[in-house]
Amino acid sequence: MSIFGFVLLFVLPSFPGFVMGAGLIEFGFGVEQSATSTWMCDCIESETRSAYSSIFSTIQSVAGFIIMNLLGVLTEWNGVNAAWCVAAVAMGVDIVILVIFSRKYRNRV
């Protein structure tokens, strides 16, 4: 959903397009965050869950800081549409990584 929201922001440079795109992005992030928490509870043993949760939180914070700065530089150089494209690609990569982890750890439950 978030990817579709980023695509809408890129394709529809109007206020209604922005509202629809931003809404889809936020809704997609909410679904992703709850799905990650559910996946962690289902697939990671309780003895190590807090360590994994801490690691995921740290990775998200550091990656978010770096990506926000890189998107700021990209926006300054090429405009806002380039940042929306990069964000959509990054969400696609995120989904691929989650699918790989899901397939790898599915048999451990």
Name the one residue in this structure whose structure tokens are 């509202």.
19
- pLDDT over threshold 80, residue 69: yes
Q: Which of 51, 56, 89, 57 shows the shortest CA–CA distance to 71?
A: 89
Q: List, for residues 77-102, the tens digit of each pLDDT value.
A: 988 888 878 878 887 887 888 788 77
pLDDT digits (tens, 9 = 90+) for 23-54: 888 888 788 777 777 777 777 777 887 888 88
In the structure, what pLDDT confidence band is assigned to residue 107 with cuts at 50, 70 and 90?
low
Exposure string of 86-105, with b = 16+ CB inside 10 Å and e = fewer, is bbbebbeeeeeeeeeeeeee
Q: Where are the domains of the chain?
A: 2-108
pLDDT at 62 over 80: yes
109 has a pLDDT exceeding 60: no
How far apart, in whole angstroms, are the C-alpha atoms of residue 7 and residue 66?
22
